[in-house]
Amino acid sequence: MATMSKQKLALFKIILTALFTALCFIGVYIHIPMPTGFVHLGNMICILGALLIGGVYGGISGSLGMGLADLALGYGLPSFLRTIILKFIMGLIAGLLFKLILKKKLNVKKLTIILVVILGLLTITTITLSIVSYNNGFVITYIKSGKEVVKTIKIHWIIPLFTGIMFIIGIIDLIIEKKLGVLSGAALIASSMGIFFNIFGEVYIKAVLYYWVSSAYSSLNDAYLYAVTGLPSTIITSVLTVSIIGFIYYPIYRATKSFNPLDYVTPLIEDTSNDDFDFDDEEKDAED
């Protein structure tokens, strides 16, 4: 985009943040109901904003837009606080990781393969440990204040579920990256990490907030069980978010490139083709 003063650039980003806030509100308010939650496009719009205008601004737009939508839909203070926290961090993670990948010219394909391998191994390991510890658990014995203490630890099924979901999303990333190119790949891996935090937070942060803020849950376990019931809609929304980002980020970036406020995207991308651009190839050419 044309060079502008810091004041004008800041104002421009605030205007874009307000636009994405409104879009996030609409993305949540117009949703598909499910028995335990609903499927929406708010997360996708939040992450798209983080990739286009930066992690802080994208996070703010998701936080405010989806938080206000929760209030408008009558979900109350606990849901509003959860959304404010989760969506801001989700957008922040996606935007900062996207910036890191592009500025450091990291190999997107290798990063995704490493991520998929790690998640695959974690999924297999945690599933095995969960099955082994299902009945009796792992017994740990130690001495405290001169007395023997025996603790039983079980690997809860939610852990392999988390890693399994992210493994599937990683496979989707690899498939889409092969078809769409490196910039879309960077957007995919960044959005996947933001979504990973969101899935985690939709269970654990949600449970803690509902336990402390809401009077409907007398124990943390009750709040945790309630949070788990929303996982089906969270999973569908997450897979939908990552898939859509993979297909729409680059076309939207190209359409808005002339006024894109991020100074680390446009200089790195060829005008002609997203598919032909490769960070490793650039480095090899420079060495030659």
pLDDT per residue over 185-222, tens digit each?
A: 889 899 999 998 998 899 888 888 888 887 788 888 88
**Is position 148 within any domain?**
yes
d(CA 49, CA 207): 27
Distance (Å, rounded) from C-alpha 31 to C-alpha 282?
43
Domain extent for 237: 6-287
More confident residue, 148 or 235: 235
Q: What's the mean pLDDT in 241-246?
A: 90
Tell me if 92 is assigned to some domain: yes
Q: Which of 75, 21, 73, 72 is nearest to 46 (CA)?
A: 21
Q: What's the CA gap between 173 and 187, in Å, rounded?
A: 10
User: How far is C-alpha 257 from the chain's CA centre?
Assistant: 24
Interval 281-287 mean pLDDT:
45
pLDDT at 125: 86
Res 40: pLDDT: 96
Which of 42-51, 172-181, 190-199, 270-279 is predicted with the least confidence, judged by mean pLDDT?
270-279
One-letter identity of residue 203:
V
Better-scored residue on pLDDT, 56 or 148: 56
Q: pLDDT band at 170, cuts 50/70/90?
A: confident
Banded pLDDT at 87 (limits 50, 70, 90): very high
Which pLDDT score is estimated for 96? 95
Alpha helices by DSSP H, 73-157:
76-104, 108-132
Chain segment 129-147, per-residue pLDDT in tens: 778 777 766 666 767 677 7
pLDDT for the residue numbered 288: 45
| Domain assignment present for 236 | yes
Asked whether residue 119 is assigned to any structural domain, the reply reads: yes
3-state SS class at 229: coil
Is residue 109 classed exposed, middle or buried when 0-12, 13-18 and 19+ CB atoms within 10 A define those classes? middle
Domain count, the chain: 1
221 part of a folded domain: yes
Give every CB contact of residue 192 below 8 A, 6+ residues apart in sequence.
Answer: 115, 166, 169, 170, 173, 242
pLDDT of residue 286: 44
Q: What is the CATH number of the domain that holds 249?
A: 1.10.1760.20
Which residue in this structure is represented by tokens 């079980």?
A: 154
Share above pLDDT 70 across residues of the chain, in percent, rounded to a whole number:
83
Rounded-to-integer distance, Cα 91 and Cα 78, Å: 20
> Would you state the pLDDT for residue 4?
63
Residue 273: which region, alpha, beta or left (left: phi > 0; alpha: psi -120 to 50)?
beta
pTM as predicted: 0.81
Q: Which two tokens stand for residue 34?
A: 């499910």
What pLDDT score was predicted for residue 66? 97
* Whether the predicted pLDDT of 273 surpasses 70: no
Is 152 inside any structural domain?
A: yes
pLDDT of residue 68: 96
Q: Choose the weakest-confidence range: 58-62, 173-177, 243-247.
A: 173-177
Domain assignment present for 1:
no
